[in-house]
Structure 1
Amino acid sequence: MNPRETAIRPAPTPASHDAGVPDYVRDLERVAAYLPPDQLGLLRRAWVVGAAAHAGQTRKSGEPYITHPVAVAQVLAEQGLDVETLVAAILHDTIEDTPLTYDGLVAEFGDTVAELVDGVTKLDKLQFRDRQEAAAESFRKMLLAMARDLRVILIKLADRLHNMRTLGAQSSEARERIARETLEIYAPIAQRLGMNLIKAELQDLGFRALHPWRHAVIEKRIRTQPVVRREALVQIEATLAQRLAKEKLINRLVSRVKSPWSIYSKMRAEHKNFAQVMDVFGFRIVLRGVADCYHALGVVHAAYKPLDARFRDFIAIPKANGYQSLHTVLFGPYGSPIEVQIRTEEMDLIAERGIAAHWSYKHGSEGSASAQNRAQSWITGLVEAQHATGSSLEFLENVKVDLFPDEVYLFTPKGDILALPRNSTALDFAYAVHTDVGNRAVAARVDGKLVPLRSKLASGQRVEIITAKSSAPKPQWLEFVVSGKARTSIRQQLKQLEHEDAVQLGHRMLDRALEVLETSLERVPTVRMDAYLAEQRYARLEALLADIALGNRMPAQVAQALVRTAPDKLERREVRAPSAEDRILITGRERGVISFANCCLPVPGDEIMGYHTAGKGIVVHRLDCPNVVEYRKSPDRWVSIGWDRKVEGDFGAALKIEVDNRPGALAQVAAAIAEADSNIDRVEYLERDSNLAVMRFGVEVRDRRHLADVMRRVRRLGVVLGIQRF
């Protein structure tokens, strides 16, 4: 929104209905002629109210400010929007910048118009600065406004489009900032909502403002195409038209002209020069019905041979934004490929207008409603995700994945279609089905074959997720998921699990510390506990326990503080020394609060000790680790721990193996480790010459006994000269 340059003062209402009506208002009414007469009268009334409210205000170009909101309404009228949206567009700046109030708009035009204006007013206050925290928070607020009524973002997109059309009056710095914001935020949103006409113009205007010289050069090259190319275009068009006519297919055949932005983007993305990008002929065939589309596909394939693997059926499997069309690429008669899109009139309208078609085409036809439903479900999903994200930057990072969709289309076991970003895995699919399915996923069946969750999926595959009640998200999952929903859900669940584990471990640690003082957590009076929590600024006991587990509070110190406030008889008790029974038993699955030292890599069965580290929780070391000597100097941080009876999962260990340096030696060692049912995490050479190679193998084992079995199998190999544990 542009800054105002003059003060607000009231303006007189026009003397009669048509007197003094400027041309820009008549232009709006002409474009909005699809509205009934009474609604056109409401538009005129909105202009009268808006003109009076904005009287005396001008744009940077010097024009009366009211010309801008009327132009925004005209952009929306060209999309066929309803009268409430057009009225709200005319009045979209009144609440913030004029004496008009929300209640005044309700009284004059009703609740819906007032809510739309209020929603756009909130959006107008947003200032995007790319990836900075403020920008991310603004983006979050914008999506929440969209969720309340999609028409809010339609007005904002039209507002941005008119501002881009009149960008010349701005300073060079403002032009660059607004153009970059348009390309990074608004054009992708228009694309995600299926509004390709507005998206294309926003991209091209943004490109021209950001790189005027590059835009001018490409635009000139487009205008001055060689005569040979123009003749070829005409010849191909005539051939296609003739073939379609012979089949009695009523159609609208148009050649597609690439925009400067699309050419520039393709040149950069595919590292092609201008001639290579332009060496493609594009046509769109618009027909009456779906059956005609498939008939026309056969006609064009008979006219020119199709390129293998370049056919896409977006009619049977629509894109996530509701886009439907058949795409095929043909061998052209001049050695250049011919790109053809085939669709119905309704599909063409939805492809150009997206969710705006919902209000303009047959007033709620199945296709247009579908486009709106898809957009609404996308935004609803984003609103759910934003509640789970830890920060606005994380939210923006996740949403940008969905704003630039290069999608794959997948089938559920029931035949439903899900669209996911390119390179999505079976785990992304699981979270797309439902968050609970993702959290409990253990494997997947793709086209009937069992595959791991990290397997990448391709369009057309049928995917079934296998779940288990005992399964839970793992931090490693974040390394291979690509969809925003999966990433957000995993992070949220991991934080919840880590907190629960931290509370449980902290409870055990504080209890052990209190037992040394011959009391327990349950025996500390509630009043004394509440006083301590208030003094240390903890809202709940769980927060204190989690902090203890994470090493931010020492359990012995907390125990002493609680005991000191207890009765005198408790203070006079003799403090006993810790015994073996005081050890805290761990399973190794305590997420986020237990970690295993890389210096000694303990496994179940090893004698271990824990070192309490602030922010990291307990770091577990083997008792024979060289670093333990140093840690013994801080007895207050030394935690007596041991292994629980039930320890599940795999643990990392390291082996130093000396082998004859001859071909096949490494393969023999790897095979022996695999036969022992162990995975190799990593391998590195420590020493190597013509006769001997010393390697470090990182392996995964269940416990000390399993590690011994691995070492025994490797030691039997004839190529192995020695093996020992690091």
Structure 2
Amino acid sequence: MIDVEDLIALVRNYNPKTNVEMLREAYAYGREMHSGQTRQSGEEYFTHPVEVAAILTEQRLDDASIITALLHDTIEDTRSTYGDISNRFGNEVAELVDGVTKLTNLQLSSSETKQAENFRKLFMAMSKDLRVILVKLADRLHNMRTIKSMKPEKQVQKARETMDIFAPLAGRMGMQWMREELEDLAFRVLNPDGRNSIIRRFITLQRETGDVVKRITDDIQTELGAESITADVFGRAKKPYSIWRKMEEKGQSFSRLSDIYGFRIICESDGDCYRVLGAIHRRWRSVPGRFKDYISQPKSNGYRSIHTTVSGRDGKRVEIQIRTRQMHEVAESGVAAHWSYRDGVRAQNPFAVDPARWIAQLTERFEAAEDHGEFLENVKLEMYSDKVFCFTPKGEVVKLPKGATPLDFAYSIHTRIGDSCVGAKVDGVRVPLWTRLKNGQSVVILTAEGQRPQAAWIEIVATGRAKGAIRKSLREENRERYIKLGRELARVGFEHIGKKATDKALSTASKQMGLGEGEELLARLGSAEVNVRDVVRALYPELDVRGDEVDAKSAVLGLDAGEQPHRAQCCQPCPGERIVGISYRGQGVLIHAIDCAALEEFEDQPDRWIDLQWHSGQHAAVHAVSLAVTISNDAGVLGRICTLIGEQKANISDLKFRDRKPDFYRIIIDVELRDLEHLHAVMLALEAESDVARVRRIRDLDRRP
């Protein structure tokens, strides 16, 4: 464990004016409070807060942040209180420790409704003082570095939470180094075989080609020397998870990936950055579509750099980032650069973003979200998005996530513009509304009075703001129809359990689900935003137990004790079908129908195949199967379809419109069934309906996990 004098030395390296006595007192107090406590590895517990503090010294953070790191678990895990810390170390530290404690208690990987509410609390904590998140990220980083001491199931849970929430959050804050390390540590747990495969291929590649990084670094230095440019050049192979993600996104094998090396050039001034770019492009051919100038158009978290990809030695693609030293400091620290110290004073970096302004921009998009689902969708879209920059006709810049369309552009300007959009021109050319925008394009939105959003727009747009606005408009426009359909769905669902969907029952359920009073619950049911099963469960949780039916967890025979089965979404097997399991280390067993096309991928991995069979008893109607149904576009048809399914004792868990024509609808209905016989009964009932033109079961390889 790092002793107190070594920790003080780490802080003094960048802040000679640090309050040494306060650091010593915090170290001694934290060690006393955690006395007798140990980590799962058996080592003294206080080693963890000390390591978290050491991580923060790498970012040159202020004394309050370092002391908070030393004390961040005291309120939660010891007899220490908020008042004790406030009296000893002041209100600022007490507030920070209390904020970290509250974040630790948030179960961010829980059910969607609770997860969304906890995300909201997370952003509220960030808005009060962003240093709370910096301490929490350092806490998570050290926990991931020492995750091997946890139980396997706990490792998977923490790794998934890290991959889904904390790594993207670190990236959104501009702390790319932390995002990459968190992703790689999580990848090591979630897919050790995949990670080891990448590393083995790297070793083989180095053995075959030699030290490519040194050769390319020397080539770049030679070109810069010829131009009399002074700069530092650093090169490295990309992290295993970054390469794995590229392989998944592009559908390519490792041998076909070219840009697996990245280089960084750190120079003295903005002018030198562009001189370096000219020298690189004169020497090597640039790759079209792989150039981004974040110096002239910085990211919202303060990030500035020039990115370009060129064809280097032997035609290998090489990614190069060019920036000044001050830009590099912000690129490494992100929003944390605002608190960094140098020589005892707050570093005056002109590119460091004001945290208050940054968090205000981040949370602005979430204020309009009307329910938990929309808020959660907005959060995830914002955290995972890369940006493109487009221009209005007046030359103003509009920042959008990668994959955004002209509709997203319209809604980013104003909801009224988005709602009345009928078309768009990109660089003067009329384009479809589903066109994906690219950097630097000029966009003109065409509007018409009386135009209203279409349901299909939700599948076109990429931003949470646009999705929320479209859903709100559709709810208002179709509210009466949705309420009528929702009432019918509720009636069928309640009759299924021998209850009546009275106004009082529905009102009580609505309040229980946080939807207030009135007919909002019925409208959400009719628009498939709320599931009938959840409504029933909200009122009658005891009826969720299904008597003598086979429990879903024991529905499959042939698994070892402790193995968790999961149904593959590509084939959605249900009882009555022959099945086989594919094992995933640390993630359980994925169940496929024996004729699933996805099994071809595992033909050369027989050790992962597990012979399974369904339990012979009566199964609960919980096995979701997707049906594509084509119906007449007439009044009351959709309601009759839902009634037919309900009469077969099946529950509709989701309903999506795929195509709307003047004379017919194509819809996808997810139906929860007992077994194959139940599926045939539902399909037969639908086929017998005169307004149903076609019914078929969907099996889709694109929905593989």
Alignment TM-score, normalising by the size of structure 1: 0.63
Change (3 A) 1:306 1:550: closer
Corresponding residue to 1:262 among 224, 242, 260 = 242
Q: Tell me, yes or no, if structure 1 residue 237 matches structure 2 residue 217.
A: yes
- Cα shift at 1:295: 0.3
The amino acid of 1:652's aligned partner reads: P
Distance 1:547 1:204, change over 3 A: closer
Q: 2:7 aligns with which of 28, 31, 36?
A: 28
- Residues 613-692 of structure 1 aligned to structure 2 (within 5 Å): 652-653=662-663
- In 2, distance between residues paired with 1:123 and 1:253? 39
Report the alpha carbon displacement of residue 613 of structure 1 after superposing the two structures with TM.
7.2
Partner AA of 1:381 in structure 2: E
Q: How does 1:353-372 map to 2 (within 5 A)?
A: 353-360=333-340, 363-369=347-353, 372=355
Structure 1 letter corresponding to 2:321? Q
Pick from 73, 92, 95 the counterpart of residue 112 of structure 1.
92
Cα distance in 2 for partners of 1:441, 1:82 equals 49
1:23 aligns to what SS in structure 2?
Answer: coil
Matched with 1:390 is 371
Aligned to 2:155: 175
Higher relative contact order (CA 8 A, sep 6+): 2
- Secondary structure of the residue aligned to 2:286 is coil
**8 Å contact kept, 1:290–1:343:** yes
Distance in 2, matches of 1:360 and 1:157, equals 16
- 1:293 paired residue number: 273
Task: Tell whether the 8 Å contact from 2:123 to 2:363 is kept in structure 1 after alignment.
Answer: no
Change (3 A) 1:228 1:62: closer
Q: Matches of 1:382 and 1:82 in 2, distance apart?
A: 30
- Match of residue 379, structure 1, among 362, 367, 390: 362
Looking at structure 2, the residues matched to 286 and 74 of structure 1 have their Cα atoms a distance apart, in angstroms, of 26
Superposed CA deviations along residues 348-396 of structure 1, whole A, max 9, x for unmatched, are 22222211122227635331126x46742443135414xx2323x4432
| Aligned CA distance change for structure 1 residues 333 and 50 (closer, same or farther; 3 Å) | closer
Are the aligned partners of 1:32 and 1:40 in contact in 2 as well (CA < 8 Å)?
Answer: no
Distance 1:137 1:111 in 2: 27
Q: Quick one: which of 324, 336, 349 aligns to 1:344?
A: 324
Q: What is the deviation of 1:170?
A: 0.8
1:71-125 deviations in whole A, cap 9, x for unaligned? 1111111112222222222211122222222233223223322222122111111
Q: CA-to-partner distance for each residue in 1:249-276, whole Å, 9 max, x for gaps? A: 1201111222222222223333333333
Cα distance, 1:436 vs structure 2: 4.4
Q: What secondary structure, in the 3-state scheme, does the structure 2 residue paired with 1:140 have?
A: helix
Alpha-carbon offset, residue 535 of structure 1: 13
Note the C-alpha offset of 1:215: 3.0
Distance 1:546 1:175 in 2: 40
Q: In structure 1, the residue corresponding to 2:662 is in which secondary structure? A: strand
**2:297 matches 1:317:** yes
Q: Give the Cα separation in 2 of the matches to 1:281 and 1:206.
A: 21
Q: 1:48 to 1:458 in 2, by over 3 A?
A: same
Given residue 10 of structure 2, which amino acid in structure 1 is its aligned partner? V
In the TM superposition, structure 1's runs of 4+ consecutive aligned residues that sit over 6 Å from their partners are 500-503, 533-540, 542-552, 610-616
1:47 is aligned to 2:59: no
Kept in 1, the 8 Å contact 2:2–2:51? The answer is no
Alignment of 1:507-656 (within 5 A): 599=632, 601=634, 652-653=662-663
Decide which structure has the larger Cα Rg and report it: 1
Structure 2 matches for 1:173-212, cutoff 5 A?
Answer: 173-212=153-192
CA shift in 2, pair 1:546/1:459, >3 Å: closer
Question: Structure 1 residue 241: deviation in Å?
Answer: 0.8
Aligned to 1:569: none
| Conserved? CA contact 1:147–1:379, under 8 Å | no
Task: Report matched runs for 1:100-499 at 5 Å.
Answer: 100-129=80-109, 132-223=112-203, 225-226=205-206, 229-277=209-257, 280-360=260-340, 363-369=347-353, 372=355, 375-385=358-368, 388-391=369-372, 393-449=373-429, 453-466=433-446, 471-496=451-476
CA displacement at 1:491 relative to structure 2: 2.1
Matched-pair contact (CA < 8 Å) for 1:50–1:66: yes
Counterpart residue number, 1:722: none
Distance of 1:124 and 1:544 partners within structure 2: 36
Summarize deviations over 1:606-660 as a string: whole Å, max 9, x none: xxxx9997999xxxxxxxxxxxxxxxxxxxxxxxxxxxxxxxxx99358xxxxxx
CA contact (8 A) 2:302 2:353 kept: no
Query: Which has the larger displacement, 438-447 or 331-340?
Result: 438-447
Maintained 8 Å contact 1:440/1:471: yes
Tell me: CA distance 1:478–1:225, structure 2 relative to 1, closer, same or farther (3 Å). Answer: closer
Q: Secondary structure in 1 aligned to 2:313?
A: coil
Q: Deviations over 1:656-697 (max 9, x none)?
A: xxxxxxxxxxxxxxxxxxxxxxxxxxxxxxxxxxxxxxxx9x
SS of 2:4's partner is helix
Deviation at 1:472, TM superposition (A): 4.6
Q: Do the aligned residues in 1 keep the contact of 2:30 with 2:70 (CA within 8 Å)?
A: yes
Instruction: Give the Cα separation in 2 of the matches to 1:545 and 1:142.
Output: 31
Residue segments in structure 1 that go unaligned for 5+ positions in a row: 1-21, 504-532, 553-596, 603-609, 617-649, 655-695, 697-726
> Is contact 2:214-2:235 (8 Å) kept?
no
- Conserved? CA contact 1:283–1:340, under 8 Å: yes
Question: Structure 1 residue 129: deviation in Å?
Answer: 3.4
Name the stretch that deviates more: 135-144 or 70-79: 135-144
What count of residue pairs does the alignment treat as equivalent? 519
In the TM superposition, residue 601 of structure 1 has moved relative to its aligned partner by: 4.4
Say which SS state the counterpart of residue 29 (structure 2) adopts: helix
1:118–1:535: structure 2 CA closer, same or farther, 3 Å change rule? closer
Question: CA separation in 2, counterparts of 1:121 and 1:432?
Answer: 36
TM-score (norm 2): 0.65
Q: Which residue of 2 aligns with 1:641?
A: none
Q: How large is the RMSD of aligned CA atoms in angstroms?
A: 3.9
- 1:700 maps to none
Find the counterpart in structure 1 of residue 59 from structure 2.
79
- Tell me which residue corresponds to 1:662: none
Distance 1:310 1:458, change over 3 A: closer
Picking from 27, 43, 47, the partner of 1:67 is 47
Shift of residue 24, structure 1, vs aligned partner: 3.4
* Partner Cα separation in structure 1 for residue 661 and residue 320 of structure 2: 55
Kindly provide the CA deviation profile for residues 580-622 of structure 1, in whole angstroms up to 9, marking residues without a partner as x. xxxxxxxxxxxxxxxxx975748xxxxxxx9997999xxxxxx
In structure 1, what residue type is equivalent to 2:351?
Answer: G
| Higher mean displacement: 163-172 or 299-308 | 299-308
Amino acid at match of 1:425: T
Q: Is contact 1:601-1:652 (8 Å) kept?
A: no
Task: Tell me by how many angstroms 1:502 deviates.
Answer: 9.6
Letter aligned with residue 491 of structure 1: R
1:81 aligned partner, one-letter code: L
2-structure distance, mates of 1:311, 1:290: 17
How far apart are residue 228 of structure 1 and its match? 5.7
Task: State whether residues 411 and 461 of structure 1, in contact with CA within 8 Å, keep that contact through their aligned partners in structure 2.
Answer: yes
